[in-house]
A and B are shown apart, each in its own frame.
Chain A
Amino acid sequence: MKLTIDGTEVEAREGTSVLDAALDAGVFIPHICKHPDLEAVGGCRLCSIVVDGEGPAVPACKTPVREGMVVDSHAKAAEDVRRTAMELILATHPSDCTGCPKYGVCELQSMYQYLGVSPARWRCRARTVATDDSNPLITHMFTRCIRCGRCVRACRELRGVGVLDYQRTPEGIRIGIDGGVSLEEAGCRFCGACVEVCPTGSIVDTLGLAKEGRSREDNVVPCRSGCPAHIDIPRYLRHVKNGEWEKATAVVRERVPFPETLGSICTHNCQGECKRNHLEGPLSICRLKRAAAVRDTGEWRRRTRHDAPTGKRVAILGAGPAGLTAAYYLAEKGHHVVVFEAEQKAGGQLRYGIPAYRLPDEVLDREIQAILDVTQGDDAEPRVEIRCGERVRDPKALKSEFDAVLVSVGTFDGTVLPTPGHELEGVIRNTDFLKAARKGEPMDVRGRVVVLGGGNVAYDCARTAVRLGATSVDVCCLEAEAVMTSTPEEREEAAEEGVTLHDAYAFTSIDESADRPGHVGAMTVHKIAKFYFDEQHRPVTELVEGGELTIPADYVIFAVGQKPEDTRDMGLELTHGPYVVADAEHRTSEDGVFAAGDAVTGTKSVIGAIEGGRESAQAIDRFLGGDGDISEVLLDADAPVQRIGKVPAGFYDGPTEPKMEPAQERKADFRPYECPFSESEAEHEASRCLQCDLRLTLTRPRLWNEY
């Protein structure tokens, strides 16, 4: 139907309000209690209009459109009501906005800019209400509240939670929680809808939550931005919650080809970012990925990209997570890929660096096979060839046969420090030790073992030594426990298996055995009082006087870092020793030769290497004339349920713990000891997700300056 608003002819559907019709047509009528996603209540009266030139002013948000109606938002009656309404709003709102976190993005500020500020007619009475920062994640600063009720409607109607309501107090009506209890006691789901719809700075994300230099979206959903591959975590957790394992895995697979592997061993930076850390502890995101992956039936395979062959050929050096990921996406873009792998089997660090009790061969074999199968699809020939046992030393030479080369050789050269005694027999490199165990030819460490280092690799070595029959295992590291890079769970589980930690010790000497000349007999370390970097970024250690400790040892394993092998003679520009220089597009100094993964970044994480593989695949595709778009849509788009309802039982429980083999049993062999979550455990754990991403589905109101 057609109507006229402020002189402009506007078309609108029946049932629309005059306000929506005007805003849709680009005619701005002031309003503040109306939010695009919330029911109109006609409370603020800023949208006052006069219809057909007669009668009193009515709120446009509550007036349905009518054929031929003539609306005037500037009629005197409307302007009078609007002016009084705005004066009343501003009369109790602080007049100084400078300390407000919403400054510049505040809807009220935009509105008073549009309408002008005229407080003079009223005796102003600022209603100071103490700032309530006692709740996690959400801070209430109700001094700034204008009682528009958007938060109340969002919480009650949009979300079905109903925590916030109008409260009658001696100073007047204000927003609050029934009974004055905490948000958690009231049953808040911390979805943030109230924060999102608040037009002022009354309900805000707790200060400090948002990181500078991160986009709004990334700050609202920090888990997703914390994941190097940006897996859509809230989306797959919703599917896990509903027991939709295939869909959950498909979401993960849209970004990475190793869901179960990652579900077993990922460093899960996402969990460190999870907003639940401010409540009872983060979601077990990583384990939920595994819970879905082990139940996956492979439905996603039907929907992979599988572009037509391009006839281009790419060589990849190293079949680790970076190389295999790049291989997958390049093949799906239609390129033919040959992966050269120096070892006997594909997998890189996944195979030869991570112990089998964390990631068994079967899982890895299955996911690598899936890459080969999916990329071949219905083609006659495979698109990805993995040539094991072929160590390539000169990537440039491959350019005659291939259109592009990717160097993703990882870091397989374990570091041995020049500590006195490091050349003694019984001193072992982490890389050699773990690889031998994984190849089924383990080193003999049946004796007293000392592991030097504090990262996860050190613990992999320590726990492998336990399983190989070491009589004692001690871990010594420079860092104090609080700043060790290994995860606390890793240390805890190792301790249960009998591993002793000596944190904050400097490595003094590896001592020769009195009985067996030339062989390790003990490890001497010295307690550190203080460890820091000076102004020139040099490490400084201050030792505790008399803090020397000698640990009897038959074997000393260095687990203090590892670096790339083979890169020195590749003829590529290197940095910090053996690391390959690659730019943001993963290009090396040699045209057509790209590099990714640990060989570029230093030993990082599997998920980091996978993201390196993704990015280099995009760059190589563009180099080969493609569009660089490797995205895949493996399941239908779904709109998350907005009305999440009251808190389910157990919503405020801590993280669900998986079942594990007891330490005494698991330390006897290399079988995985952690069970995947059962279906009910997984569904329960996933239901703890705050669904921070729901906030981003809310409409952001357009301000007057955008009309």
Chain B
Amino acid sequence: MAQELETDVVVVAAGLSGLAASIAAAEGGARVITLEKASNTGGAANMGMGPCAAGSPVQRASMIEVTPGELFRRHMFYTHYQVDPRLVRAYYFKSGDTIKWLQDMGVVFNSVRPAFRARERTRAYADGEYTWHVVQPEDGSEPGPRAATTMIKRMTERANDLGVEFMFECPGKKLLVNDEGAVCGVVATNKDGEEVTISCQEVIVATGGFGNNAKMIHDKIGLDWGKNLYSFAVPGMDGDGYNMCHEVGAGHTPVTMEMMYQLPDNMNHFYVEGAFRQPCYWCDKTGERFMPEDDIFNTTFVGNAINHLPGKVAFSIFDSKMLRHWKKDGPDIVSHVHPHDLYQGFDEQWQRDLDTYMDGAGNHVIAQADTLEELAEKIGIDPEGLVQNVEQYNEMCAEGYDELFEKEREFMMPLEEGPFYVCRQYVGAYGTLGGVLINHNMEVMTDDYKVIDGLYCVGTDACTIYGDSYNYSIPGNTMGFCLNSGRIAGENAAERVAESAGDEDWD
């Protein structure tokens, strides 16, 4: 039988932004019900390491001077003012205090870091700021991937302490609107498939985009998941909030994906993926190089570059000598994602995958051959083009100078000694960003910029602040925006609830 509930604020989804919204609203005195499709809190944030902030106590204690205004400018220059400055401002100017807010909940930050330090000659364009507040894991050990789960735990505990009522495996399905056009409730489906109707005063939608919805990705972004796109598809990120908000007249913004690069089913081919992320020889299907390979550690640059190559595919090639060098000396570029023993595990994985590793379009992902012609033939590069280009490249290696791109000379290793190894490289992405138009209070607006009463949208459903690319130079940005947009919406929602409670007293 259908269930009917009543509360002040409903938060749709308990990812990072939903948790922040729930806590902030409950701290403001509102009664909060938080719907969650999964049985865990945290959503995609369980994968992360920590949020971005400016002017935080952690930064100050580390003598890192990064003011909100400075970051605001850097962000707006990076995006060429293509994004809403008030929204960006609201986020950065809140972010330092949000770190303190989290510390008060018991979250410990290990350190503030940049994502990576760029080499000297690209530093002005590609360097990272010290904004990444990496969470200290529960047991005091050194943080690695997924360190942010400890922050999720603290926030979940805090929400529970404040009386936030979580409803797990109970996704929000529909927003209810009253006669005045204000949002006044949510319809959800509980784990038994029964409908739950919750009437409330304020709704905060925080469902995390539609990275798991291939059809929406195709329709709204124009990429084909599993064919020319291998992005993160976190189960549950199906566009629920996007659709719910638009059903009640929310305005539209462009939807983007933060491009990077990835292999199909990469978890099962991790050694292969890691082994080819090196500054060896990278080319398109004609055999021509497309960037100085010393930049391939910048996943944003490479993802964007591949997206513009013919067929949206690149090829990474090395020879036997390079493989020997990496086996002996370790990789030239170390990633904190891939296994430490990359090249020890390589041969075994390579042999297993060689004939069986296919992409969604039916191409071999990897190949090996004794000559470059044969290699090109096998993997789908123009053989003549490859041989010609490699010849020129090898000459440049001998000269010690890359005439084409001025690639760092220490990586100018020729492709000489067979067998040669090749791997296709595909466009990847984290998830989707944006789609729902909001103002700097996180209130949802129509296409005419009129606020829809009672409705907020936060986190990646509403994150339009990146423009076209992931802002790697201000690391921690995705989590940072989720946290702060959620917190701001929660505060505003609670304030409105308190105001209207006052009204009733007067009536």
Cβ-defined partner of B40 (8 Å) among A109, A121, A143: A109
Q: How large is the interface on A (under 10, 10 to 19, 20 to 34, 35 or more residues)?
A: 35 or more
A129 to B265, CA, bound (A): 12
Chain A nearest CB from B56 CB (Å) reads: 21
Chain A nearest CB from B423 CB (Å) reads: 16
A94 to B270, CA, bound (A): 9
A664 contacts B by Cβ under 8 Å: no
- The segment from B80-88, B232-240, B243-251, B394-402 that touches chain A is B232-240
A271 to B184, CA, bound (A): 43
A218 contacts B by Cβ under 8 Å: yes
Q: Are A123 and B40 closer than 8 Å at their CB atoms?
A: no
- The segment from A98-106, A377-385, A546-554 that touches chain B is A98-106
Q: Are B40 and A110 closer than 8 Å at their CB atoms?
A: yes
**A109 — which chain B residues lie within 8 A by C-beta?**
40, 46, 149
Also in contact, A124 and B337, with CB within 8 A (given A118-B142, A216-B191): no
B4 contacts A by Cβ under 8 Å: no
A575 contacts B by Cβ under 8 Å: no
A419 to B140, CA, bound (A): 82
1/0 contact string of A100-130 vs chain B (CB within 8 Å): 1111111001101111111111011110111
Question: Quick one: which of B238-267 are within 8 Å of A by CB?
Answer: 238, 265-267
Chain B nearest CB from A93 CB (Å) reads: 10
**B117 — which chain A residues lie within 8 A by C-beta?**
none
Question: Quick one: which of A49-101 are within 8 Å of B by CB?
Answer: 79, 83, 94-101
**Which residues of A does B touch, CB under 8 Å?**
79, 83, 94-106, 109-110, 112-121, 123-126, 128-131, 141, 143, 212, 214-218, 703, 705-706
1/0 contact string of B127-163 vs chain A (CB within 8 Å): 0000000000111111111110110110010001000
Cβ-defined partner of A215 (8 Å) among B189, B267, B268, B345: B189
Total B residues in contact with A, Cβ cutoff 8 Å: 55
Q: Which residue of A lies closest to B153 (CB)?
A: A113
**B143 — which chain A residues lie within 8 A by C-beta?**
120
**A126 — which chain B residues lie within 8 A by C-beta?**
270-271, 339, 345
A97 to B265, CA, bound (A): 11
Question: Quick one: which of B95-141 are within 8 Å of A by CB?
Answer: 137-141
Q: Interface on chain B toward A: helix, strand, loop, or mixed SS?
A: loop
Q: Are A103 and B235 closer than 8 Å at their CB atoms?
A: yes
Also in contact, A112 and B156, with CB within 8 A (given A99-B266, A130-B268, A131-B268): no
B388 contacts A by Cβ under 8 Å: no
B17 contacts A by Cβ under 8 Å: no
Counting residue pairs across A and B whose Cβ atoms lie within 8 Å, the total is 146
Q: Are A117 and B39 closer than 8 Å at their CB atoms?
A: no
**A118 — which chain B residues lie within 8 A by C-beta?**
137-142, 144
Also in contact, A117 and B339, with CB within 8 A (given A104-B235, A705-B166): no
A217 to B192, CA, bound (A): 7
14 additional A-B residue pairs with CB within 8 Å, beyond A106-B40, A116-B150 = A83-B141, A95-B337, A96-B337, A99-B233, A99-B265, A103-B234, A109-B46, A112-B146, A118-B140, A119-B145, A123-B340, A128-B268, A705-B166, A705-B168
Q: Which residue of A lies closest to B194 (CB)?
A: A215
Also in contact, A116 and B149, with CB within 8 A (given A125-B339, A216-B191): yes
Cβ-defined partner of B349 (8 Å) among A95, A128, A217: A128
Most buried by B among A95, A102, A117: A117
Q: Are A121 and B271 closer than 8 Å at their CB atoms?
A: no
Q: Which residue of B lies closest to A131 (CB)?
A: B268
Chain A nearest CB from B467 CB (Å) reads: 24
Top 5 nearest A-B pairs (CB, nearest first) are A116-B138, A104-B38, A215-B193, A118-B141, A116-B137
Q: Are A116 and B139 closer than 8 Å at their CB atoms?
A: yes
A329 to B200, CA, bound (A): 38
A125 to B348, CA, bound (A): 13
A99 to B236, CA, bound (A): 12
**A128 — which chain B residues lie within 8 A by C-beta?**
267-271, 349, 352
A118 to B268, CA, bound (A): 22
Cβ-defined partner of B43 (8 Å) among A104, A116, A120, A216: A104
Chain B nearest CB from A208 CB (Å) reads: 12
**A212 — which chain B residues lie within 8 A by C-beta?**
238
